[in-house]
Amino acid sequence: MRRMALPIAIAALLALAGLVMVELLRPAPALTQAEQAQGIAGELRCPDCQALSVAESQTAAAAAIRRQIVEQLGSGRTPAQVRAYFVARYGEWILLAPSSPVAWWIPVAAVIGGTGMFAWWWRRGRATVAPAVLVPGSGVREQIREEVEQLDA
């Protein structure tokens, strides 16, 4: 069972990576302008409320932003240009999700790094236990004790 842990972990990671790739490569369905506007409103933070998107909020500021989104899309701007317009005025803060790709890769890097560290720890544990069983008595036991004490110091 222990022998299988590393292959299982690698297989799970590969499956996860595969799902991410499928999600990234799948062509997005064509959206109507109203759906696009609704989508952008859902990504923007309502400026005068707490933890609500512009799409969810009933405040006048949110309504004004929703109107602007519709107007700007109507005048031919792309959703990316509309988002950039609001970021240029309110800062990154207006986006509910971070736009920097670094923020999205940190958890992936943490999972891969953690799996790697776990595998290293697992293999190291097995490697050091095995020879200890084979060595009975003699000066080797003394040597091991000294080395362990040096490690602990």
Q: Name the site residues for another protein (rule: CB under 8 A).
A: 47-48, 60-61, 63-65, 67-68, 86-91, 93-94, 125, 128-129, 148, 151-152
Q: What are phi and psi of 65, to 5 degrees?
A: -65, -40
Of 14 and 109, which has the nearer Cβ to another protein?
109
Of 37 and 65, which has the nearer Cβ to another protein?
65
Burial of 46 (0-12, 13-18, 19+ CB in 10 A): buried
Least separation, in Å, of the C-beta of 49 and another protein?
A: 10
Least separation, in Å, of the C-beta of 90 and another protein?
A: 4
Of 38 and 68, which has the nearer Cβ to another protein?
68
Alpha-carbon separation of residue 83 from 5, 14, 36, 41, 73 (angstroms):
45, 33, 11, 9, 11
Least separation, in Å, of the C-beta of 76 and another protein?
A: 18
- State which H helix or E strand residue 33 sits in: helix 33-43
Of 16 and 132, which has the nearer Cβ to another protein?
132
Least separation, in Å, of the C-beta of 114 and another protein?
A: 11
Of 53 and 68, which has the nearer Cβ to another protein?
68
Burial of 86 (0-12, 13-18, 19+ CB in 10 A): buried
How many Å apart are CA 10 and CA 14, to the nearest integer? Answer: 6
How many Å apart are CA 139 and CA 133, to the nearest integer? Answer: 15
Least separation, in Å, of the C-beta of 68 and another protein?
A: 6
